Structure 1
Amino acid sequence: MKDSYQTTPSISALVITYNEIGYIEKCLESIAFADEIIVIDSYSTDGTYEYLLQQENVRVIQHPFKNFTAQKSYALEQARNDWILFVDADEVVTEQLRDEIQETLAGPQTHDAYWFYRQFMFENNRLRFSGWQTDKNHRLFKKSKVKFTDRKLVHETLEVNGTSGKMRSKLMHYCYKDFEDYKGKMLHYGRLKAREAFYKEKHFNYLSLYVKPFWKFFNNYILRLGIMDGKKGITICYLNALSVYERFRELKRLEKKNELAYYLVMP
């Protein structure tokens, strides 16, 4: 009988960062099992870069941030291995998920990418609803079979040339450290979404400015059961709606700026 031993493929773990002190420590600890860890830092100012330089098992590269899709595509280019584990700086791979990843890659390769469901954490408490309960992302995949679509600047989408499976264990996402931190993230996402809409030649209107943020809050807080998360649910649903409001406010600003530039260059 022939030996059925199969070598487990090497994994490159990738992370992008900007001012992630308080998050990145747990993240790096949880992915220490990877054969290679690469962090692409967008010139952090809070000590993140200096901290990363002290980590012997981490290769850190500073690269200017254009948008999430461009930054993650750049990170992907740096990886030496075909199998990629891509996590955000505020995410933690649990022991159960780590074991499942290793067991999956040690067995017959039936998929080219894997979806991870995420467990959202509000400070150190679980956020059970508020629209996040079905959230999932591709986090483990073959570099040779994927690319990040250039149609999105935020909430980047991975295009997989092959099949996708699902992990049973969840990825822990520490989305909320404090109010100002999460608010800053949501406003930043809103502005990037506005740029994305502007490039797609979508136009601002006042109806969307007021109706869509209200719908976002109502959908997440009532229909997606954010009310069951108590005060945490109100806070998260409000800030997510604020991101939508900022998107249309920024879209209006971009259109006005474009109109001004047009009139300035007219003969």
Structure 2
Amino acid sequence: MAAAGETFNTSRTMSLSAIIITKNEEANLQACLESVRFADQWVVVDNASTDNTRAIANAFGAEVTQTQAWPGFGPQKNLALSLARHDWVLSIDADERVTPELALEIQKAMQNRAADAFEIPRLTEFCGQWIHHCGWTPDPVLRLFRRGQAGFSDDLVHERVILKSGAVVRLNNRLLHYSYPTPAHYWRKLEQYSLAWAQQAHARGRTSSMLRAVTSGLMAFLKSYIFRLGILDGSMGFAVCAMQAQAAFGKYFTLYCLNQQNALKKT
């Protein structure tokens, strides 16, 4: 990974499009948009929200596109990316916040001619506590890139940014992630992600077993609680690691169920 350089493009100020995909995010969207007010364009691609998400986006001045069918996270973000018009693109989720310090760093980074993309370290909150271990920190995510230099993978879940070429630099200030205010938020995401991951894996011919599900869960707990020092995050750290174990078990068990259903259909 390249080190942050000090070669800047002083010919003109670079412009920025912030892209966000949403579904029923009225509780998060206003604060998210406010945190990226420094952007030159706000693109919101909404998937059939039934709350005030679109009204909030419209009132802020965002360009709102609505979809009915859900194609998966990767394709949905690629749709949002296709609507961006400016030099740089910042992909942000509705439950994330750009701090004022990060906003200044982003604006400075866009003048760096030596880099085509930037990773941003992310700090996640769980039930009112910032989690500094468990494998959740520093959690660098590639979110800022030159338009035309990158796109998203077509994965249904856990999509990633694919950079065509160029250097990636890591920023210093953190992106704040308010993803799990209660355990219920985690369980809802776990159910959604486990099913999407299992369906994708099953379609690609992958198989699982009960043994694989159990051992994956156990290893996930040991990895996050012991080797990634989740124990240092106290009781919330234990809860996070236990839930990560459940997530690992859940996705492989769901894949096993899909395998079994497919085998039954063939008999």
Q: Same fold (TM over 0.5)?
A: yes
Question: Which one-letter code corresponds to 2:92 in the other structure?
Answer: V
Is residue 14 from structure 1 mapped to residue 24 from structure 2 by the alignment?
no
CA contact (8 A) 1:221 1:237 kept: yes
1:185 Cα deviation after fit: 0.6
Instruction: Write the distance in 2 (CA, Å) between the matches of 1:238 and 1:111.
Output: 39
Structure 2 gaps of 5+ residues are 1-8
CA contact (8 A) 1:186 1:240 kept: no
Deviations 1:156-195 (A, max 9, x none): 1211122111111111111211111111112211112112
- Where does residue 199 of structure 1 map in the other structure? 203
C-alpha distance in structure 1 between counterparts of 2:198 and 2:246, whole Å: 13
Identify the residue that residue 32 of structure 2 maps to in structure 1. Answer: 27
Structure 2 vs 1, CA of residues 124 and 25 (structure 1 numbering), >3 Å: closer, same or farther?
Answer: farther
Matched, 1:119 2:90: no
1:21-100 aligned within 5 A: 21-55=26-60, 57-63=61-67, 64-100=69-105
Structure 1: gaps spanning 5 or more residues: none
CA deviation profile, 1:94-129 (whole Å, cap 9, x unmatched): 011100111122x34111110011011224432111
Which amino acid in the other structure matches residue 243 of structure 2? Answer: L
CA distance in 2, matches of 1:261, 1:50: 45
| 3-state SS, counterpart of residue 148 of structure 2 | helix
Structure 2: distance between partners of 1:232 and 1:60: 37
Tell me whether 1:159 sits opposite 2:162 in the alignment. yes
TM, length-normalised to structure 2? 0.90
1:240 match: 244
Partner of 2:228: 224
Superposed displacement of residue 22, structure 1? 2.2
Residue 211 of structure 1 aligns with an amino acid whose one-letter code is: T
**1:149 equivalent in structure 2:** 153
The amino acid that maps onto 1:195 is Q
Q: CA RMSD in A?
A: 1.7
What's the CA shift string for 1:183-240, capped at 9, x where partnerless?
A: 1112211112112221221112121111101111121112111111112112222222
Deviates more, 1:192-201 or 1:172-181: 192-201
**Structure-1-length-normalised TM-score:** 0.90
Asked if the contact 2:210–2:256 (Cα under 8 Å) also holds between the matched residues in 1, the reply is no
Counterpart CA distance in 1 for 2:219 and 2:231 is 15
